[in-house]
Chains A and B, each alone.
Chain A
Amino acid sequence: MKAIFTSFILLLYAGHVIGQSTIAGRVVDEKGEGLPGVNVFLVDTYDGTSTDLQGHFSFKTSEEGSYQLKATFVGYETMSQDVTLPGDNEISFLLKEAINRLDAVVISAGSFSAGEESNREVLKPLDIVTTAGATADIAGALNTLPGTQTVGETGRLFVRGGDGYETRTYIDGMEVLESYSPSAPNTPSRGRFSPFMFKGTSFSTGGYSAEYGQALSSALILNTKDMAAQNRTDLSLMSVGADVSHSQVFGKSSISGKIQYTNLEPYFALISQRINYDKAPEAWDGNMAYRHQIGETGMLKTYANWSSSRLAVYQPQPFTNQEDRLEIDNNYHYLNVSYRDVINTKWSFNTGAAYTSSKEDIQFNDVDIEDQLSGAHVKGVVNFDPDASLSIRTGLEHYYRQHNYNLSEENEFKENYNQHISTGFIEADYYLSNDLVIRSGVRAETNNLNRQTNVYPRLSVAQQLGEHGQVSLGYGKFSQQAQQEYLRVNTNLDEEKATHYIANYQYMKGKRTFRVEGYYKSYNDLVKDGTQGPNNDGQGYATGFDVFWRDNQSVSGLDYWVSYSYIDSERDYRDYPQQATPAFSSTHNLSVVGKYFVQDIKTQIGATYSFASARPYNNINEEAFNAGRTPAYHDLSVNFSYLYRSNVIIHASVTNVLGVDNIFGYEYASEPNEEGIYQSQPIKQMAPRFIFLGVFITIAKNKAVNQMPNL
């Protein structure tokens, strides 16, 4: 009896004695160093433990049978080994770092990207919009980045010795034509798209991805915001006009719309301009964005923009008493539909279609000109990600462009063309580790007008150096078809071509960034005016380096950056008689941008100083072409954003506070004077300063929402 009782009791406590195994060992990384905090456990049991500071672990288990012992650690690939129990086991694990795209090195050669998500972006969309002097114009803000040249009378982006047309804008992967609104000659134009729409901006100063083409110098890649977060209504009252916008969120979709009216007449009445407007610029703009989530992972985006503008200006002929009257009426439509979705963990795709139609009716004295450009772009891209280390994308695109140019004076004169360009591309990102990535791709384009097929390779590499630095190299061939004023005369013109070589070093620690980049671009097949019409005999080069320093850390509340570019560039194109430095290229460009938030007065103060060294101009009286040099350009702009209430902001900005009388070039008389000299007069700013005032009101359920991030 006692024996049964004892053995029964013993059986009850049996688990403590029989079948206890010890599993111990060490977890190390590829360098042989112990990893602390690794979770080592028997799958399908509670038994396990965490490694200590040296990577050692030890735990007991009473399980019996065949089990899997797993070691898991965030950022590393999981490893497992089989163990048979009972029995003491001594196990070692070597864990390899898992490639994590979000952490891995990013190719930075030739590119500045601004995204909201990652901490490693050099710029945030906020930065682009709060830059003084830019007056919330994308090109204006990007002009403070290295690699750009200040060409103040145009307001457009000129990148690394390239002309203004060499930058192409893409929204959600789809092409945008005529992305600048019309303006009178020598007056700056503005981008049509407000920076507020975009969640991410990638501005390339060269060497951009094989997914994009038709741009000799740079691609401005803009990604619109996804679903609106909440219902809101925004009202803006400005010295140049007003706008109202509204966003409405439904279950799986959101719709946003904006209507804007701009009229510069009251402003010009107050502040006189150098040129005489018969009709000050007036415009109506409307846009609409519709987002719809399809299933768990799909997103359909539709964006439409419509704009109608008018202006009429008197242009005095220099050194005469006569003046010409120029009127520009522009009607612009843009529609962009894109759809992306994930098929499974390895495959995803995005596809889209875009349509631009821009029609300008120009009256120059008695001459009527109708200049119409429309284009369609369809694109389909497939992404294949077999594992974290490899990402392949390939796609097909088709561009259709139609240009009509009608000039009626006494007789009608018409030129037009229809063009089809088909392209295909394939590009792969291969991560050898989290510290080294290679991107290689190729793009092929075929053009029905000149019946040529061209192939453009692209290659770039980025290597992480230590925790904070990286080196990046880029190479590629790029092309762009001839500008419409030449293409309509000779539809056989070849694409203009450029080859880029870029090397860059970047160091990012905390909230400080240092970046230096050097490049060489060679241009071929540039369009030149020939005796028998335009041809492709032009060529050129651009070389230089950019330096960028940003500090958001040293002084609390102060964010500033300094960017300097040096460029040596010459080209022979258009009407140049010989190779020379183009008029838009100045050797030194410097921008210093600062923003400071003063908590006590709830105001953000911004200031930007821009400097550009002498620009070339052609003095007709001299033999040498483009040998003249303008004085240097200086501009100090400031802006203030005052948080009057949590949902009301009062904003003021002034460009050229110091009133520097900048000269962009010179215009010459069409006839020589009595001494046989062609007289000249300088091309200056329209007014010493541009002053802008605005009140921005947001009506939303969340009282903290306002337009501050947009200013």
Chain B
Amino acid sequence: MNKSILLPLLTMAVMLWSFTTPSKYEEAMKKQINNVYQANTLDEFQVVINALDRIAQNEDDKWEPLYYAGFGYIMMGTRTEDAAQKDKLLDQALEKVTAGLKLQPQEDELIVLEGFIHMIRVTVDPATRGQQYSGLSMQALNKALAMDANNPRAMYMLGQMELGTARFFGSDTTAPCEKLKKAVVLFENQKPEGELSPVWGQESAVRAAQACN
């Protein structure tokens, strides 16, 4: 082989390699996003959240690590029975979401998480918190839909909240059920902005829409 061609060829190969391979950040995030979707126990979630925190402290302009850490804390909250513990986890989630919004105030997915946090807060003490936090939750979810009318997660959770309210007061459930059906359609057609964009919620939305009548 010609010696003079080898070096440039190898150099090009290395350069191509670094362009087509994902960055360290994206690699790490894809792995952790997968982990957070797969996690089940509180310990498993904590390990993922820690990894996301490590990424976040290195990338102070990225909202995604904060988003998924917040998501992880919310998931931990839904798997906790103890009221005080649940509140603490939701506080942690809200810290992550607030930090994310500081970086990207117009990111509708973060506002969806905010609505999600308020929704779970109600479950701690529905009688006392029902009115205040369901109001805050629907406010956030509506705000997210105003930013992106096709956000399937916002549509799904808003439908869930309205369905809960309608069932409690014994009023008509047509409008909430419509929202849930629309959410299913939005999930089928969702086009994530990037490889790190949130995609969760489809299974739950489908189940909820089927149960709604």
The residues of A with any CB-CB pair to B shorter than 8 Å are: 1, 5, 8, 12, 36-39, 41, 43-50, 53, 72, 74, 103, 116, 119-120, 124, 126, 229-230, 510, 559, 597, 602, 643, 645-646, 702-706, 708-709
Known interface pairs A50-B46, A646-B171. Does A709 touch B131 (Cβ–Cβ under 8 Å)? Answer: yes
| B174 interface hit (Cβ, 8 Å) | no
Q: Which of A46, A72, A602 contacts B58 (CB 8 A)?
A: A46
CB contact list, B16-39 vs A, under 8 A = 24, 28
Selected A-B contacts with CB under 8 Å, 12 pairs: A12-B14, A36-B43, A50-B47, A53-B43, A119-B87, A119-B125, A120-B84, A126-B128, A230-B139, A559-B127, A602-B169, A646-B171
CB distance from A180 to the nearest CB of B (A): 28
User: In the complex the two chains form, is B54's CB within 8 Å of A704's CB?
Assistant: no
Chain B minimum-CB-distance residue to A511 = B83
Task: Chain A residues near B129: list those with CB within 8 A.
Answer: 116
| B210 interface hit (Cβ, 8 Å) | no
User: In the complex the two chains form, is A8's CB within 8 Å of B10's CB?
Assistant: yes
How far, in angstroms, from A535 to B57 measured CA to CA in the complex?
70
User: In the complex the two chains form, is A704's CB within 8 Å of B47's CB?
Assistant: no
Q: Which of A8, A50, A124, A646 contacts B169 (CB 8 A)?
A: A646
CB distance from B112 to the nearest CB of A (A): 18
Q: Which of B47, B128, B135, B136 contacts A124 (CB 8 A)?
A: B128
How far, in angstroms, from A53 to B44 measured CA to CA in the complex?
12
Known interface pairs A119-B83, A229-B136, A646-B171. Does A46 touch B54 (Cβ–Cβ under 8 Å)? Answer: yes
Number of interface residues of B (CB under 8 A): 38
Q: Which of B6, B50, B136 contacts A50 (CB 8 A)?
A: B50
Q: Mark B116-137, 1 if CB is under 8 A from A, else 0.
A: 0000000011011101101110
Task: Chain B residues near A45: list those with CB within 8 A.
Answer: 54, 58
User: In the complex the two chains form, is A705's CB within 8 Å of B46's CB?
Assistant: no
Known: A1-B3, A45-B54. 12 other contacts (CB 8 A): A1-B1, A8-B10, A37-B50, A39-B53, A41-B54, A44-B58, A46-B24, A46-B55, A48-B54, A74-B88, A705-B131, A705-B135
Task: Chain A residues near B150: list those with CB within 8 A.
Answer: none
| B173 interface hit (Cβ, 8 Å) | no
User: In the complex the two chains form, is B43's CB within 8 Å of A37's CB?
Assistant: yes
CB contact list, B142-187 vs A, under 8 A = 165, 169-171
| B202 interface hit (Cβ, 8 Å) | no
Known interface pairs A46-B55, A126-B128, A645-B171. Does A229 touch B50 (Cβ–Cβ under 8 Å)? Answer: no
CB distance from B7 to the nearest CB of A (A): 9
CB distance from A466 to the nearest CB of B (A): 15
How far, in angstroms, from A620 to B54 measured CA to CA in the complex?
83
CB distance from B71 to the nearest CB of A (A): 16
| B92 interface hit (Cβ, 8 Å) | yes
Known interface pairs A119-B124, A704-B165. Does A39 touch B3 (Cβ–Cβ under 8 Å)? Answer: no
Q: Which of A74, A597, A702 contacts B135 (CB 8 A)?
A: A702
| B209 interface hit (Cβ, 8 Å) | no
Task: Chain B residues near A41: list those with CB within 8 A.
Answer: 50, 54, 57
How far, in angstroms, from A50 to B51 measured CA to CA in the complex?
8
Task: Chain A residues near B124: list those with CB within 8 A.
Answer: 119
Q: In the A-B complex, list the 9 residue pairs whose CB atoms are closest, starting with the nearest.
A: A39-B50, A37-B46, A646-B169, A50-B47, A704-B165, A50-B50, A41-B54, A124-B128, A48-B54
User: In the complex the two chains form, is A39's CB within 8 Å of B54's CB?
Assistant: yes
CB distance from A351 to the nearest CB of B (A): 28
Task: Chain B residues near A49: list those with CB within 8 A.
Answer: 50
How far, in angstroms, from A559 to B54 measured CA to CA in the complex?
45
Question: By CB atoms of chain B within 10 A, which of A36, A45, A46 has the most?
Answer: A46
Q: Mark B54-96, 1 if CB is under 8 A from A, else 0.
A: 1101100000000000000000000000011001100010000
